[in-house]
Amino acid sequence: MRRTYFIKTFGCAQNEADSERIASYYQARGMELAPDIDSANQVVINTCMVREMAENRVYGTVNNLVKNKLKIGKPEKIIVTGCMVGMAVRDKTGSFMKLIRKKLPHVDEFLPIEEVGFDHAPLRTNQTNAWVPISNGCNNFCTFCVVPFTRGREISRPYKEILHECYSLAGDGYKKITLLGMNVNSYGADLIVGPENIQVLRDIDKTYFNNETLRFPFDSAQDKRSGQAMKGYRLPNGQMVKPILVTHLNRLRIPTLFPYLLEDVCKIKEINEIDFMSSNPWDFSDELIEVISRNPKITRKIHFALQSGSNTVLKRMNRWYTAGEYLELLVKMRKQIPGIQFSTDIIVGFCSETEKEFAETVDLVKKAGFYKAYLAMYSDRPMTAAHKVFKDDIPHSVKKRRWSILEDLINKPSHNK
Ligand code: SF4
């Protein structure tokens, strides 16, 4: 009889996509998917740490499995992977690894997701929409967010490898592709300047790109209009392009290849729907808006995390936009892309959020016209700047009230009629 595995996934689409790669790794070793978690020989728990509640659900699931393991010897092996392990391996002090080993003493293996790699084609569970990860990690360090600690700094998958996967999905009959990353709009910045230079990008100006010391894959080419030598990035089809320079508040944020990638995926004729998530409002370049507007295959439902409509809260969150800039962007996109709709993420009860600050969020929500919102009550997360610097001082009852107000306003608008 063939040995079996089962994968329990918590959290976001990126975790779902990672689990599809884990499944393919098991299949390559001759194992098959068990019908349920209780009958599997090996169980993988793909964890999420975005909120305390998600983390507690992981502990609950693993502890239930352990009871079975000790009682009936099944599963024989419990493997924990995902964000929890990501944070443990990145915590240089080793204290988080110590903590999870103490809380989960019967886990057989803590597997960093990076070790799974991209060698095997994912075993896809969704037969219509294919997830295609284009990058992993995030460099933004919003003060409430664990992602830079659980998934590390942003690393882009090679352009060629992504396109190859998209073409082979088309060959397999897929019609819809969703490009995944924590901040898809910054895709490629590390491919352009090298991962070691990513952090300095926030404070450099555009003249950086005149620097002759930039290394592969930068190359020299002739600018057709000016006849001047220019720096460029060579796409897999041999075309030399200038990276899109995303500036914000007159400062260079990132050079990105995302608009080129999106347009190249649009060229795959068998694919008729292309989605992407997540994208950051402050990295949404004019070039990206243009690519979307001229390619009807690209989704008209854009997810833009707002998090707060108060400038002072946004500042405490280390978000790179003001409420006004966010609204301006929505107006601009509505003008250039007819039929576009927006969904969002909002956190209520962030550290010291006053009634006035919350009212500013309500005000922005009324103007923005979101069709959907993922609302969260702020949850203090280890290692984040908010955890170290601010106090999680808004009572649960207040967070709940604010959550309900926004829920009624955005997700249950009929309540207000
Ligand atoms: S941009 Fe998104 S993933 Fe990155 S730190 Fe901010 S909230 Fe987290």
Q: Which is the closest atom of ligand 1 to the Cα of 319?
A: 6
Q: What is the CATH number of the domain that holds 389?
A: 3.30.750.200
pLDDT at 127: 83
- Name which residue sits closest to atom 6 of ligand 1, judged by CA: 142
> Does residue 393 lie in a domain region?
yes
147 Cα to the center of ligand 1, angstroms: 6
398 Cα to the center of ligand 1, angstroms: 25
Same domain assignment for residues 166 and 258: yes
Contact in structure between 20 and 35 (CB atoms under 8 Å): no
Same domain assignment for residues 259 and 224: yes
Same domain assignment for residues 180 and 246: yes
- For tokens 């569970």, name the residue: 125
142 Cα to the center of ligand 1, angstroms: 6
> Does residue 383 lie in a domain region?
yes
Give DSSP secondary structure letters for 16-57: HHHHHHHHHHHHHTT-EE-SSGGG-SEEEEEE--SSHHHHHH
Q: Which is the closest atom of ligand 1 to the Cα of 183?
A: 1
CA dihedral 125, 129, 131, 132 (to 10 degrees): 130
Q: Which is the closest atom of ligand 1 to the Cα of 139?
A: 4
- Name which residue sits closest to atom 1 of ligand 1, judged by CA: 140
CA pair distance 209, 411, nearest whole angstrom: 45
148 Cα to the center of ligand 1, angstroms: 7
Domain that holds residue 88: 4-115
Same domain assignment for residues 264 and 400: no
166 Cα to the center of ligand 1, angstroms: 26
262 Cα to the center of ligand 1, angstroms: 21
Q: Which is the closest atom of ligand 1 to the Cα of 182?
A: 3
> Does residue 231 lie in a domain region?
yes
pLDDT at 223: 45
- Final residue before a domain boundary, out of 115, 137, 164: 115
Contact in structure between 235 and 137 (CB atoms under 8 Å): no
Same domain assignment for residues 283 and 386: no
- Final residue before a domain boundary, out of 94, 115, 136: 115
Q: What is the CATH number of the domain that holds 271?
A: 3.30.750.210
Same domain assignment for residues 171 and 319: no
140 Cα to the center of ligand 1, angstroms: 6
93 Cα to the center of ligand 1, angstroms: 23
Same domain assignment for residues 283 and 397: no
- Final residue before a domain boundary, out of 299, 323, 340: 299
**3-state secondary structure (DSSP) of residue 138:** coil
- Name which residue sits closest to atom 2 of ligand 1, judged by CA: 182
61 Cα to the center of ligand 1, angstroms: 27
226 Cα to the center of ligand 1, angstroms: 39
pLDDT at 385: 95
Residue type, 286: D
Q: Which is the closest atom of ligand 1 to the Cα of 146?
A: 8
> Does residue 307 lie in a domain region?
yes
Give the β-pairing of 109-111 and 176-180. Answer: unpaired
Same domain assignment for residues 295 and 314: no
pTM of the model: 0.88
Tell me which residues have their CB closer than 6 angstroms to ligand 1.
138, 140-142, 145, 147-148, 182-183, 280
pLDDT at 207: 54
Same domain assignment for residues 163 and 294: yes
Q: Which is the closest atom of ligand 1 to the Cα of 148?
A: 5
Q: Which is the closest atom of ligand 1 to the Cα of 307?
A: 7
Q: In a mutational test of the pocket of ligand 1, which residue from 183, 304, 346, 350 has the highest number of ligand atoms less than 8 Å from its CB?
A: 183
pLDDT at 253: 76
Same domain assignment for residues 45 and 90: yes
pLDDT at 368: 97
> Does residue 121 lie in a domain region?
no
Q: Which is the closest atom of ligand 1 to the Cα of 280?
A: 1
Same domain assignment for residues 106 and 170: no
**Nearest residue to 240 via CA among 223, 255, 226, 256:** 223
> Does residue 247 lie in a domain region?
yes
145 Cα to the center of ligand 1, angstroms: 6
Residue type, 92: K
pLDDT at 220: 44
Per-residue pLDDT of the chain (417 residues; tens, 9 = 90+): 789 999 999 998 889 999 999 999 899 889 999 999 989 999 999 999 988 888 899 999 999 999 988 888 889 999 999 999 999 999 989 999 999 999 998 899 999 888 877 777 888 888 889 999 999 999 889 999 999 999 988 899 999 999 999 999 999 999 999 999 999 999 998 887 766 666 545 555 555 555 444 433 444 444 444 555 456 778 888 887 878 878 776 667 788 899 999 999 999 999 999 999 999 998 899 999 999 999 999 999 999 999 999 999 999 999 989 999 999 999 999 999 999 999 999 999 999 999 999 999 999 999 999 999 999 999 999 899 999 999 999 999 999 999 999 999 999 866 554
Same domain assignment for residues 103 and 168: no
The total domain count for the chain is 3
> Does residue 120 lie in a domain region?
no
Instruction: From residue 4, give the alpha-carbon distance in Å to each of 21, 25, 26.
Output: 16, 12, 9
- For tokens 């107000």, name the residue: 405
Q: In a mutational test of the pocket of ligand 1, which residue from 145, 279, 387 has the highest number of ligand atoms less than 8 Å from its CB?
A: 145
CA dihedral 279, 285, 291, 293 (to 10 degrees): 90
Q: In a mutational test of the pocket of ligand 1, which residue from 48, 141, 142, 186 has the highest number of ligand atoms less than 8 Å from its CB?
A: 142
